[in-house]
Structure 1
């Protein structure tokens, strides 16, 4: 059976291989400075997470179609962890064994829609889970030890640096994050975890070009913003 390319990602260095994607799990407020810029207390507390549908996933070098229903779409660059094994209520010591690869993603967010929903006490899935809201780079296959060789995460908008952060400074490190999520969700091979964004989130408009970089992988995610 062939893989549906809409639910998979390319693999770096393996042009005929694709990584089949299952769930897309996104972590909120996992960098202290980003928590502050969003008006929240950055103290370490249990992480919260949400899901994006598979229709949110797009690849590098494809257009991001800005949704017509939002006037304030923000970029949020994130380290993405790809899981290669299942796990439920795993320990932080055992969590690294689930890592099968990694890459860089964008959690595109309709900030105005999100804020309005919060004010009305309503769910804000539409602000995060619209079609095309999860651009993601090709994945570098490799375990937790390979991930340790990677450096800082960064994003440029039209050539100007707008976000930068060391993923090792996440409030919840990768192993603990996987373990915490697995307390509530049965993780499966093919799951992607968007691990949270550093400070510097901001708006995009049609005509913008976003380029994400992970030291060790280089400029691995390129997105052009177009009008919806």
Structure 2
């Protein structure tokens, strides 16, 4: 019975300690709240000061990235490339032996099978008007061969029927041998566009040139080769 006051005293002490802890927690929370209010007030003052100093801030618009144009590769002349390839594909040989395949007369004229003798007579008389010519005189052999192939292809493609090919008489060749003259004859018989050819008249170059009849590009003109 004498120990009851001591127990009561301990309970009062515990209660006092709890109250003190609660008071301390309230004071700490109040201090944190006051500090937070102070920070917000300081931030608000800084924003107001910035606005008064700088003015209203408008966000920048998003700008699409600038595309730097890349230089385009140089244009390729496709038609020219195809023409050059066609020339190579239709190249004519120096080794072709015309005598083994086609007949030539004493005047070195030529006509394909199915082309009448009258065609040669008309070529010699100049019945067909000359529509183009190429001068190979003075060119080297390879240069002359390539130039002749391109000329014949373009002429036939443009519907040209009769042309003159100047090859020279060979007086300036080594040994005065008409090398280019003989080569031109050999080259011509290998071209499918060529129907016939004869030596030119004296007024058109004589034995230094050939008058050549070409295959017409249109079906309607095919009958001309059968005169």
**For this structure pair, what is the TM-score category when the shorter chain's length is used for normalisation?**
under 0.3
Higher strand share: 1
Taking structure 2 as the reference length, the TM-score comes to 0.23
Structure of greater relative contact order (alpha carbons < 8 Å, 6+ residues apart): 1
TM-score, normalising length: structure 1: 0.23
Pick the structure with more helix per residue.
2
Find the structure with the greater CA-based Rg.
2
